[in-house]
Every structure is written in structure tokens, then in C-alpha cells.
Amino acid sequence: MTLYYDNIFVKESVLHGKGLFSDIDIPKGSVIMKIKGDEIDENECVRRENEENNVYIFYKDENKYIDTVNSDKIKFINHNCDNNCYVDEDEDGDLILVALRNIAAGEELTIDYGYDDIYDACSCKECDNKD
């Protein structure tokens, strides 16, 4: 399996702060990278969110979360309702970032965060058109 981790870089984003970008074209369905970090349970997830204002946590399954606060790339992925990536699980049970469609070199990588509060603050074209 080809991973595109080495082709992904962080730079300023028009969406929010910094974002993830690719320096090459990525075909639809490609695994871009594994999502790595501390595996924590729900109680620790809630504690880190509330006490540390940690927003870099990915839901894995029932009572497992991946905290990516110490990662050098994935923590910078921004939300967009018209996302070009999604998070999935591979055959080993690891979280992976997958290209939802063909992604052009230089394009920002985005996912739909999938929680209600994000849509209130979202300024993507799809949300701007809902007004």
C-alpha cells in the first residue's frame, strides 16, 4: 500500500489557521496516512477536551479515541462540508485518512468533522449557501 505521508505538508489555510496540503495528485480511494497518537478511553477524552482544550482527538470505536495533539501533520486537518478525505479503519484496526475523490497537488486536505457545533461555525461554500 502506498502512503502519501511524505507528500503532505502543513501551511497557512484560508479555512482556518494552518491546514494539510499535498504536493502531488492523490487518486480517489488512496490511503493518505495512518492516524497515530495516544489511544485513550472516553473519560480521558472528555477530560482532555475540557481541561486541556484539546480538539485533536479522533473517535475510533465504542470507547477508544486517538489523541493526535503531538502529531506533526494530522492535527492540522481542517473541516469542510465539501470534504475531499474521510477517516476509516484499515484491516489492522488502525485509523487511516483516505481520499474521497481525486485530490490535485496543492489542494487542501479536509474532512467533515461530523459534529453539530462545527456547522454553526463553518464558513465553507456549502454552509454559506444555507443562509
- Do residue 60 and residue 77 come from a single domain? no
CB distance 3 to 36 below 8 Å: no
- Do residue 65 and residue 75 come from a single domain? no
- Do residue 4 and residue 48 come from a single domain? no
Q: Phi and psi for 6 in degrees, rounded to 5? A: -70, -15
Q: What is the pLDDT, as a whole number, of residue 123? A: 61
Q: pLDDT tens across 64-122, in order? A: 999 999 999 999 998 888 899 999 999 998 999 999 999 999 999 999 876 555 545 56
CB distance 44 to 117 below 8 Å: no
Confidence tier at 131 by pLDDT (50, 70, 90): very low
- Do residue 63 and residue 105 come from a single domain? no
CB distance 75 to 10 below 8 Å: no
- Do residue 51 and residue 23 come from a single domain? no
Distance CA 5, CA 78 (A): 16
Distance CA 127, CA 107 (A): 20
Radius of gyration in angstroms for the set of CA atoms belonging to the chain, rounded to a whole number: 15
- Do residue 19 and residue 7 come from a single domain? yes
**Biggest CA pair distance of the chain:** 42
Q: pLDDT tens across 3-61, in order? A: 889 999 999 998 888 999 999 999 999 999 999 999 999 999 999 989 998 888 888 98
- Do residue 15 and residue 44 come from a single domain? no
- Do residue 27 and residue 82 come from a single domain? yes
Domain that holds residue 96: 1-33+71-131
Query: How many domains would you assign to the chain?
Result: 2
